[in-house]
Amino acid sequence: MHNLIHTFSLNLPSQIQFLHEDKRGVEVWCKRDDQIHPIISGNKWRKLIGFVKEFYKSNYNSIVSVGSAHSNYIHSIAYLCSKLSIPLKLYIYGHHNKELTIVLTDLNNWKIEWEQIERIKVQELLNKYNYKSDIFFIPEGGNSECANDGLIELMNELHSDSKDNLLLIASGTGATVKHILHNSFHLDVMTLSPVASMRDQLKLPRLHLLGDALTLPFAAYSDELMKFIHEFYQQHGILLDPIYTSRMMYSFYKSEIKLEKYRKVTFIHSGGLQGWRSFVKRFPNCLDVVGEILIANNVITC
């Protein structure tokens, strides 16, 4: 673990930054996992470290995984394996154009092998690779027990497993939320998943689903959300991503959820800032609001 921290110049443990006292009388803090690393930040590092450890202590020759053509997870595991010279093959769904997505362009630059697949065939991959002893198959989003290692370390850094603590965690596949609940006993977790199909799967003890204040499709554009991202940055110096963390924090502040039972609310910043690159390409008008912030944070160039 120490060697990996040195290899990637990781900022661990990440900072816990005080934001403000909410109007509902509770302190709001931010766990700055977005600062762990420019590429493998947030819950991507937290989840992937366990898989790297498992790969090295076992007799695997390579790693295989799956995800979407815009996935933060895919981007992170590709970078990690390229830097560690771990052979990796990725199955990619959701790419329907001749022009490569920004994530796929990075995969090519890092010499990562990838193949297109229809999403409905993802389960077939599990069946295909489940019995291959020399290939380490990692489910989409790193959703397996190996993700426990890094998330246990996150919990140790927080020192907050008590009934008067609430964690705010944005959800994609739901893996991070599930593992944090599995590795804690008392605290509550509140989450928002912009992926509508995931919401019914996120029904667990001590988990509260935050109502979505934006009636928008996944990864859609909203003037109101862009303004919120800008204001949040101006107030706290923290850049949110346009898909997950911004939508969750916007909905948290818009909600009327009673927080009297909590002493402290901690927002876990799960990174994902590379997602801005594709977002800007699809919605260039967002630059009128957040362009200077993105440039200042080296997310995009001039």
Assigned token pair, 67: 């995800």
Percentage with pLDDT > 90 across the chain: 73
pLDDT of amino acid 218:
87
**Can 2-38+147-296 and 44-142 be said to share one CATH topology?**
yes
- Closest listed residue to residue 43, CA positions, set 283, 272, 219: 272
- Give pLDDT tens digits for 139-176: 999 888 999 999 999 999 998 889 999 999 998 878 88
Model confidence pLDDT, tens digit, residues 25-37: 899 999 999 999 9
Q: Quick one: average pLDDT of 86-90?
A: 98
Give the chain's mean pLDDT: 92
How far is 32 from 238, CA to CA, in rounded Å? Answer: 9
The domain segmentation of the chain, as residue ranges, is 2-38+147-296, 44-142
Q: What pLDDT sits at residue 228?
A: 98
Percent of the chain with pLDDT over 70: 96
Would you state the structure tokens that stand for residue 241, as one six-digit string?
Answer: 């991503």
Residue 173's pLDDT is 78
State the CATH class of domain 2-38+147-296.
alpha beta
The CATH code for residues 44-142 is 3.40.50.1100
Residue 223's pLDDT is what? 97
- Report whether pLDDT(179) > 60: yes
Residue 197 has pLDDT above 60, yes or no: no
Average pLDDT value for residue range 164-190: 91
Confidence at residue 195, expressed as pLDDT on a 0 to 100 scale: 60
Residue 109 has pLDDT above 60, yes or no: yes
User: pTM of the entire structure?
Assistant: 0.93
Question: Minimal CA–CA distance to 42: which of 85, 72, 7, 67?
Answer: 72
Task: Identify the pLDDT of residue 14.
Answer: 97
pLDDT tens digits for range 44-74? 999 999 999 999 999 899 999 999 999 999 9
| Res. 204: pLDDT tops 90 | no
User: For 138, left (φ over 0), alpha (ψ -120 to 50), or beta?
Assistant: beta
pLDDT exceeds 90 at position 93: yes
Average pLDDT on 177-199 reads 82
Q: What is the pLDDT of residues 235-278, one digit of tens each?
A: 999 999 999 999 999 999 999 889 999 999 999 999 999 999 99
Query: Residue 199: pLDDT band by 50, 70, 90 thresholds?
Result: low
Q: Quick check: bond before 242 cis, omega within 30?
A: no
Q: Which of 65, 70, 39 is nearest to 52 (CA)?
A: 65
The neighbour count for residue 273, using CB atoms within 10 Å, is 23
Neighbours of 233 (CB within 10 A): 18
